[in-house]
């Protein structure tokens, strides 16, 4: 009796294992297809970029980037900026502050984030980058810039009130030159 049931079970198990097994050729094909699809997508993006009226700098970085974080796209945009690092901190009387940071680090990773106590906003990564990059891109600060005028420009650009108690802006240019603006009221 046991032999009657053992044979069909062994045969069924063998067929199931054979169907699940693979010699590796099928696994290599999807990876090649993915690489081909990425190459085609990049070519299509290049064609679309040339045909588009928007520049690369105006388009937001997508979180579905090939590396999953958008680091490659953020790095590319940061390399086009005059600044490798932007750090802004504005404090107000009622213990509220606005802090923003955008940095192309020495390991070529991009760090982006901001915290806005007045509006209850705290963003990091690609979402913060998409908000900060267009603002930082507009900055045209040099060592000879008038500090008071530049502080007003930055406050206006970031839609911040001008009744701050402490203002600090630190910039590191792509060539390593540092600019700092600090004002206390």
pTM of the model: 0.64
- The residue among 29 and 160 whose pLDDT is bigger is 160
| Domain limits, the chain | 2-52, 71-184
Distance between CA 167 and CA 181 in Å, rounded? 8
Point out the least confidently predicted range of 40-44, 74-78, 146-150: 40-44
**Above 50 in pLDDT, residue 43?**
no
- The residue among 48 and 5 whose pLDDT is bigger is 5
pLDDT at res. 112: 97
Going by C-alpha positions, the residue among 113, 114, 117 that lies closest to residue 95 is 117
DSSP class of 57: G
Distance between CA 63 and CA 1 in Å, rounded? 61
**H-type helices in the chain, by residue range?**
2-20, 25-51, 71-80, 125-137, 147-157
pLDDT at res. 53: 36
Q: φ, ψ for residue 4 (rounded to 5)?
A: -60, -40
DSSP class of 58: G
* Coil, strand or helix at 60: coil
Q: Express each pLDDT in 117-147 by its tens digit.
A: 999 999 999 999 999 999 999 988 876 788 8
* Coil, strand or helix at 151: helix
Q: Express each pLDDT in 65-102 by its tens digit.
A: 445 578 999 999 999 998 999 999 999 999 999 999 99
Distance between CA 87 and CA 77 in Å, rounded? 17
Q: How confident is the model at residue 55 (pLDDT cuts 50, 70, 90)?
A: very low
Helix 71-80 vs helix 125-137: crossing angle, to nearest 10: 10
Distance between CA 69 and CA 33 in Å, rounded? 22
Give the chain's mean pLDDT.
75
Beta-carbon-side half-sphere exposure of residue 162 (alpha carbons within 13 Å): 10
Please check whether residue 88 is in contact with residue 169, taking contact to mean a CB–CB distance below 8 angstroms: yes
């Amino acid at each position: 009796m046991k032999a009657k049931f053992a044979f069909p079970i062994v045969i069924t198990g063998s067929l199931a294992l054979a169907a699940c097994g693979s010699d590796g050729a099928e696994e290599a094909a999807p990876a090649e297809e993915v690489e081909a699809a990425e190459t085609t997508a990049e070519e299509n993006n290049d064609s679309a970029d040339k045909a588009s009226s928007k520049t690369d700098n105006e388009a937001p970085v997508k979180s579905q980037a090939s590396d999953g974080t958008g680091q490659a796209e953020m790095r590319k945009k940061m390399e086009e900026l005059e600044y490798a690092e932007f750090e802004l901190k504005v404090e107000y009387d009622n213990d509220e502050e606005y802090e923003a940071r955008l940095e192309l680090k020495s390991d070529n990773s991009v760090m982006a984030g901001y915290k806005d106590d007045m509006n209850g906003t705290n963003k990091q990564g690609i979402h913060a980058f998409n908000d900060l990059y267009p603002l930082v891109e507009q900055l045209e600060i040099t060592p000879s810039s008038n500090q008071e005028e530049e502080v007003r420009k930055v406050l206006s650009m970031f839609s911040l009130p001008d009744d701050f108690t402490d203002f600090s802006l630190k910039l590191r240019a792509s060539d390593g030159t540092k600019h700092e603006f600090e004002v206390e009221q």
